[in-house]
Amino acid sequence: MRVKNGRLVYLFPFIAGFFQASGSSSVECSLGSGILNSAVLIILVASWRRIGENRYTMRELLPGRRAFIVLGVLLALDYIILGFLLRPEEIPDLASQASIWVLYVFFGYLLFRGLEKSRSHVSGQVEWEGYPSFRYMVSLSLLFTLGSVIGFSMGLFFVAAFLVWILGILFGLKMLVWTMREML
């Protein structure tokens, strides 16, 4: 939340509202969804603060070897239950699935290496500073909701969705290259 131009932070929830509007069917849905999404996030942040937000470091929250295995088992169960048992006619042949499995193995390996490398670094607990106030979170939520309503009303959500999609791809590629340099 601390950037050179602090007011720029207010632009992001507004644009996120545009993006959120792409899944709405009406202005009322955009308004309700913006309010409910924001309320859930504010409640979760308030709950997190009450139970002691500084109890764990980010590194301690990352999955270890056992949790990594659990994630793999859950992914396999997801494939079996949702694919083979519920809709077996929709499952592509083995050759078509091979590329996806290769990507799972590749990204799983990067995640595993990243977790191992992260755990090998020793550092003290980092204290979080500058938690957003309730008033600040509500103002960002209002901007998000306003962006959603305006985005749907003016039909701008397609532009926002396209820009977020393009920027997301570029950011993802940059992060992939950076991660591969760091982990391999």
The mean of the pLDDT values for the chain is 80
Q: Look at the block and give the residue holding tokens 């103002």.
A: 139
- CA-to-CA dists, residue 180 to 1, 66, 74, 88, 162, angstroms: 28, 23, 25, 35, 27
- The 8-class DSSP code of residue 52 comes to -
Report for 3-12, 29-38, 109-118: range of highest mean pLDDT: 29-38
Q: Of the spans 9-18, 83-92, 111-120, 141-150, which averages the highest pLDDT?
A: 141-150
State if pTM tops 0.75. no
Count Cα neighbours of 2 within 13 Å in the Cβ-side half-sphere. Answer: 4
54 φ, ψ (degrees, to nearest 5) = -100, 15
Tokens 């490398």 found at: 117
Q: Please tell me the distance from the alpha carbon of residue 163 to that of residue 158, in angstroms, as a whole number.
A: 9
Q: For residue range 12-65, what is the model confidence (pLDDT) as tens digits?
A: 888 888 888 888 888 898 899 889 989 998 888 887 777 766 666 666 667 777
Residues belonging to the chain: 184
pLDDT digits (tens, 9 = 90+) for 121-179: 655 555 555 567 788 889 989 999 998 898 888 887 778 778 878 988 999 999 889 88
Give the pLDDT score at 146: 92
